[in-house]
Amino acid sequence: MKKVLQILENIATSYPGLDQNQTPFIHVMSYGDSSINILFMVWTDRAHYYQVRGELMAFLLEKLTQEGVDIPFNILMSALPTNPSAIKPSQINMRALELATEQSLTQAKPLVCPRKSCPNDGKASPS
């Protein structure tokens, strides 16, 4: 963790476009399920905020990767079987099987938007 904090400190004090008159705020704030969450606050001119922010975000990822720091991006894989009844219970969580079956049974029905003002004449688009 010290290595990451040092990399961030070096970037905060040398990256072009950052206000070096302001002290950066770089602190561990919390622990996630598979991460250590660090708040990295630096300052820049308002007129160039989005440009500097976008370029800095890309640079941070590139620099941390170069330094061998693993960034744990969440990966969500979702696959619904076309024939849920053909899957053995040992192959899939039973609740997931129930949800897949319910979804396949309800796909033919129109979805009604719960809000009063909805696009598509009050019917939600299937997604």
Q: Cα–Cα distance between 87 and 97 in angstroms, integer?
A: 9
Number of domains in the chain: 2
- Predicted TM-score (pTM) of the model is 0.57
Q: Cα–Cα distance between 112 and 97 in angstroms, integer?
A: 24
The reply to whether 14 and 40 lie within a common domain is yes
The enclosing domain of 56 has a CATH number of 3.30.70.100
Asked whether residue 81 is domain-assigned, the answer is yes
Range of the domain at 8: 2-66
Residues 4-46: tens digit of each pLDDT: 999 999 999 999 999 999 999 999 999 888 788 999 999 999 9
Report the pLDDT value the prediction gives residue 70, as an integer from 0 to 100: 83
The reply to whether 24 and 48 lie within a common domain is yes
The reply to whether 14 and 60 lie within a common domain is yes
- Give the relative orientation of helices 2-14 and 49-66 as an angle to the nearest 10 degrees: 140
The reply to whether 60 and 14 lie within a common domain is yes
**Of residues 110 and 93, more confidently modeled:** 93
CA distances from 69 to 5, 35, 58, 63, 78 (A): 11, 12, 15, 9, 28
Mean pLDDT of the chain: 76
Asked whether residue 22 is domain-assigned, the answer is yes
DSSP tag of 61: H
The reply to whether 40 and 96 lie within a common domain is no
Asked whether residue 26 is domain-assigned, the answer is yes
Pairing of strands 25-31, 36-41: antiparallel
Last residue of some domain: 66, 100, 118?
66
The reply to whether 48 and 91 lie within a common domain is no
Roughly how many angstroms between the first and final C-alpha of the chain, as a whole number? Answer: 41
Q: Cα–Cα distance between 9 and 26 in angstroms, integer?
A: 7
The reply to whether 61 and 15 lie within a common domain is yes
Report the pLDDT value the prediction gives residue 7, as an integer from 0 to 100: 95
Residues 79-98: tens digit of each pLDDT: 666 776 665 655 555 555 56
Task: For residue 42, count CB atoms less than 10 angstroms from its CB and return exposed for 0-12, middle for 13-18, buried for 19 or more.
Answer: buried
User: Which run of H or of E encompasses 8?
Assistant: helix 2-14
The reply to whether 83 and 62 lie within a common domain is no
The reply to whether 8 and 62 lie within a common domain is yes
Asked if residue 121 has pLDDT above 70, the reply is: no
